[in-house]
Structure 1
């Protein structure tokens, strides 16, 4: 029996004539009436559901009169700060309660501190998946951050400002910091809560700071702050956010140029800009570095100093184990008819809602939940629109399930009660749209139902991440992700199969992350031509007069040592889901016109470098094509496999590349389209000599497309954009010169083997003649070929 399930008799769809109170509506758990969107906007607030913890809100105060209420943990008088010596040689560490850090959290904090100590960059990013403990990381970081000393005045800055993007996050963060540092003043600047501007730690929402022409930002003087910490930092490229950050570091302006063994560092000399203003370190934390609106985070933050891979954390048992089940909608949803925004590349919300908000689709979603998750404690459902939320909630209630919902119009006090009840397990299903993708702390969630397709990998991972937190107290063993998938695989939809590099048509039922990785490896192996996965060294070819030609696909082969220390040749396609292209001596990943990443061998190890394309106005005078910024090292390692994993993570989480990450995989839909005429003409022009072009030859050597090296492959409409793009990349990055050398070596080796074969035949013929002569002389006849 489901918890709190209403009886069938009480699940009538009729709404009472008089509008009932919120509590009476929710306690009855009756189905909600499906209303037009404009009607819902004005009336749905009354049927939202109980809410969750009341946000941390303190009595109003002003900067001129700081609070002195000793009973409030956020209102204690400031402690006496230690007076530092003139040379600022030491800094008294902050007292804090025990924060038990996981090993990777210690590594993250150390990476931030090491980068600040080097002093080259001060606008730093941290990429940590949902559930990995971002709040614990930056809360612990507060006590380890060095104070800043102004190089002119000698004034010491010790305060910290934390900027979040929601009331709920402000409340959670302030409580976490207060628990960790009971001796510090912790204040909140949000809505009616007015901070003094002089607290040790102030937690703000950026919406509040941006209000009234940023008037509430004025009391936070940059020269008093040792760091500004930004949570959910993927919002930080918005104009209002940039204005706030530019107050603390003028280089962040959009118009400017682009625990345990942790140390307690001494104060650092602060950097200043050309006007003598202090540049306060900006430390950004987020699980997703891309923005749906395409604004570049690269102009705000300079370097991602630490990245946590969510799959690795699942394997390390730091995050909840996941199981995946896909539900193919078949003909119920025609994905080809859903509009796509040209600005964001995401589905148009109204068009997506019209396609999905149908009774048959909603019933499929509920059926999938009953078949796979009805015994699970807490299910979170993601819908497209408010009307879709209402429809899905009704669909669950009609089947006797206590389902409730939340949307952006739900009042905060109702949200608080709703969240409290959901955490307590008082009802089984919570439906939302656009609310709980960020900052939601519900560790007990053991099922996530994705009832809305998306083209954004960031959004997909945000939704999936709601179930990644551990919750041993509630008996959570894993989290089931039920993913509703449309019929078309050519529209750039991000779903469970494409996330793991699997064919989108693959049916998935109750598979773990490890099992899906195994499926991806098997499918990748099946796609890789089998002829000779590793051509042997030329000297090892059979010394036969009748030479057997090998399928020479060495462009994409990587030579490295296996676990036993033996050399092996592995196609790069088996090592990464991204569309890496072998160019002979280097490997290249093109970045959709924004630049490229190159991997090259540097002595005994491999190194990856990022080349970002400069804006057109900076390269307009160049006659040699686009210019690139100074290459940025991404990773280095002796193992090509490990190097490629680190490089992939750096690329997919780079602030300027995250929004195109779905286009960088070798399974991206654009790669399956026919090659353009300009691509085909360019390839033929580069690979055919003048005589062949004059004769109208339209085929090239097979090695360029993974075929036998002496075969000829026509460049016609059967060649895809992905194949053509790979050939162009090889031509651009030295592949032609490398292949000419290899072909010359092969031809010379072929001639050598022919000569050796001829010499061997002559020796054999001489031996046969001598044998016959000896036999005649001995009076015995020896048959031909006898030894």
Structure 2
């Protein structure tokens, strides 16, 4: 999370210091509540602890609440504050932890224990919400009642949310919509940056010949129907267990995710019948049993555990070096959280990476874990559209014949039940790069939506397919610099003078651009990314 200096005090990492200072800047410059976006392993507990310490240093009577959904997170965050600030006037209010210190100046609590307690808690200046994506938009919830009552008691309090996944499956981004609880991002640290700087463990995947078939499974409450999904998972368990045992023979600690308790029991039985220890953890597992299982996994005396609806946040088992995906889901946030269980560093166990055995199609559905983005909020924004590849007319997604040019869209391909579970990269930096010979290039105006300026569409043609990029010519702000930079990099060296000021001017001057010989394309995410253009030397 952070490091210690010789005097025994905790020293924050540079990005943790930036998260604290930029959040204070945001609060001073804006009304509302910001989000600190930081993935698993970034040290959110350290960031919160430093915010608390600085708040009380500035105003000694500051009353602070740290609220979350998990008693494990309450204990972890409380412990981290005590390491950073041993004399902190802090207490805990959590039934699961058997502590009810409601008068504490800095109160760490679970929402389940305090949602009726806003009036008893009284004066509050600052609320920190860990795992803020667990807050729903509906008012008739524990969070809704607590935050409504808190606003009545404390009209001028401020709130800061922390999460690695600032969105929910059913309502999209936490900072969008008139009924949003958060109003901007005060600081963001990317997962890939933490990996590259050695603060997180990379994830790797291997192609397998097995995938759970979700074709035709109903959707319930925004995700797959558990009753139907359970049967599909059961169909592949025996084969999957044989496969991941073989793949994980040199892996120390395995975390397996399943949709139902029945699936988990089947998985545990199959694993144990092959001579390997396996436990089950559900939301109903007692705290003592849960702690015993996780302690055994940390110590290396238990090799595997199956999680059902839990162990996705607030769990710190660094030795986990294999994650087994047997729980298909439509929730991109849940995928990040489940993969994240294997991304903590564990140098004492010799861990260098985490293997993802993706039988659930997580990468196929959501893409590399560091590129996963929030889904659009339901009922907001324009209806989904697609573009005709022949005449570029924007059409409703269901139209199969373009009324402008007559182009017939091919019918969608139906997935086979047993596609390869994971031939996609777990991280964008692992994506395959291909060099493709360019047979021609075209330049055209791309009509932008939502009132944004049009862009220059550059289409590189090859023998097999076309690849496009969109260049912001004549835009304002940072985009203007990007457009000028692209023009300078692609213009013939014999031509001097300024880049075009407008898109119309650019289209009239495309003869100044060099002819591309080949492009380098990275096959990651939903669309190929053009990362380099090589030109003919004498074009």
Residue deviations 1:104-133 (CA, integer Å, cap 9, x gap): 212211211211232x23411111111111
Residue by residue over 1:227-259, the C-alpha shift from the partner in whole angstroms, topping out at 9 and shown as x without a partner, is: 111001011235321332234446xxxxxxxxx
Report the counterpart of residue 197 of structure 1 in structure 2. Answer: 102
Q: What per-residue deviation string (whole Å, max 9, x for no partner) do you get for residues 165-199 of structure 1?
A: 11222222222222322212321111174544332
Indicate the SS of the match to 1:480: strand
Q: Is the 8 A contact 2:167 2:333 kept in 1?
A: yes
Structure showing greater Rg: 1
Hey, what does 2:254 align to over in structure 1? 379
In 2, the alpha carbon distance for the partners of 1:227 and 1:97 equals 28
Tell whether 2:18 aligns with 1:143: no
- Residues 34 and 182 of structure 2 are in contact (CA less than 8 Å); yes or no, is this contact kept in structure 1? yes
Alignment match, 1:106? 17
Q: Within the alignment, does 1:173 sit opposite 2:77 as a pair?
A: yes
Structure 1 segment 175-254 matched on structure 2, within 5 A: 175-191=79-95, 193=98, 195-210=100-115, 214=116, 216-222=117-123, 225-237=124-136, 238=138, 239-249=141-151
Give the Å deviation of 1:322.
1.8
> What is the aligned counterpart of 1:334 among 213, 225, 247?
213
- Contact 1:457 1:494 survives alignment (8 Å): yes
Taking the aligned partners of 2:238 and 2:244, their CA distance within structure 1 comes to 10
CA distance in 1 between partners of 2:475 and 2:438 (Å):
26
Partner Cα distance (1:108, 1:530) in 2: 44
Q: How much has 1:328 moved relative to structure 2?
A: 3.7
CA deviations over 1:322-358 (Å, ceiling 9, x no partner): 211243426xx432221123x42x2222211111112
Q: Do 1:147 and 1:226's aligned partners in 2 also have CA atoms closer than 8 Å?
A: no
Residue 226 (structure 1) shift: 3.3
- Once the two structures are superposed, residues 127-150 of structure 1 have per-residue CA deviations (whole angstroms, 9 ceiling, x without a partner) of 11111111111112211236788x
- Contact residue 242 and residue 300 of structure 1 kept, 8 A: no
- Cα offsets for 1:556-612 (capped at 9, x unmatched): 99xxxxxxxxxx997699xxxxx9984x757xxxxxxxxxxxxx7226x327xxxxx
Q: Alignment partner of 1:327: what SS? A: coil
Pick closer, same or farther for the CA change 1:157–1:581 going to 2, 3 Å: farther
1:7-41 deviation digits (Å, cap 9, x = unpaired): xxxxxxxxxxxxxxxxxxxxxxxxxxxxxxxxxxx
Separation (CA, whole Å) in 1 of partners of 2:81 and 2:460: 46
For the structure 1 residues 195 and 335, does the alpha-carbon distance in structure 2 shift closer, same or farther, using more than 3 Å as the test? closer
Secondary structure of 1:288's counterpart equals coil
After TM superposition, give the deviation of residue 496 of structure 1 in Å.
Answer: 5.1
CA distance, structure 1, for counterparts of residue 108 and residue 503 of structure 2: 57
Give the 3-state SS of the residue equivalent to 2:280 in structure 1. strand
Q: Is the 8 A contact 2:444 2:457 kept in 1?
A: no
Comparing 420-429 with 451-460, greater Cα deviation is found at 451-460
- Aligned-partner SS, 2:256: strand
* Counterpart Cα distance in 2 of 1:580 and 1:392: 45
Whole-angstrom CA distance in 1 between matches of 2:209 and 2:485? 35
Q: Which residue of 1 aligns with 2:297?
A: 422
Mind listing any 5+ residue stretches in structure 2 that lack a counterpart?
A: 1-6, 374-412, 449-455, 462-466, 487-501, 512-539
Q: Residues 118 and 150 of structure 2 are in contact (CA less than 8 Å); yes or no, is this contact kept in structure 1?
A: no
Partner residue of 2:42 out of 118, 121, 132: 132
Q: Aligned runs of 1:403-482 on 2, under 5 Å?
A: 403-482=278-357
In the alignment, the residues of structure 2 paired with residue 642 and residue 203 of structure 1 have an alpha-carbon distance, to the nearest angstrom, of: 50
TM-score, L = length of structure 1:
0.49
- Residue 438 (structure 2) pairs with residue 530 (structure 1): yes
Q: 1:162 is paired with a residue of what secondary structure?
A: strand
In 2: Cα distance, 1:176 partner to 1:140 partner: 10
Q: Is 1:249–1:281's contact at 8 Å kept on the other side of the alignment?
A: no
Partners of 2:92 and 2:102 within 8 A in 1: no
Deviation at 1:406, TM superposition (A): 0.9
Q: TM-score, normalised by structure 2?
A: 0.70
Q: How does 1:78-97 map to 2 (within 5 A)?
A: none
1:218 alignment partner, SS class: helix
Q: Deviations over 1:193-228 (max 9, x none)?
A: 454433231111001112xxx1x3322223xx3311
Which SS does the other structure have where 1:337 is aligned? Answer: coil
| Aligned mate of 1:493, from 362, 365, 371 | 365
- How far apart are 1:436 and its partner, in Å? 0.7
3-state SS of 1:198 partner: coil
Which segments of 5 or more consecutive residues in structure 1 lack a partner in the other structure?
Answer: 1-95, 150-155, 251-275, 534-550, 558-567, 574-578, 587-599, 608-637, 644-736, 750-787
Q: CA deviation at 1:515?
A: 5.4
d(CA) in 1 for partners of 2:509, 2:458: 21
- Of 479, 488, 513, the residue aligned with 1:606 is 479
Query: Which residue in the other structure is 2:195 paired with?
Result: 314
SS in 2 for 1:145: helix
Contact preservation (8 Å) 2:358, 2:422? no
**Contact 1:323–1:510 at 8 Å: present in 2 too?**
no
Provide closer, same or farther for how the CA distance between residues 203 and 515 of structure 1 changes in structure 2, counting only shifts above 3 A: closer
Structure ranking higher in strand proportion: 2
Structure with bigger helix share is: 1
Offset, 1:391: 0.6
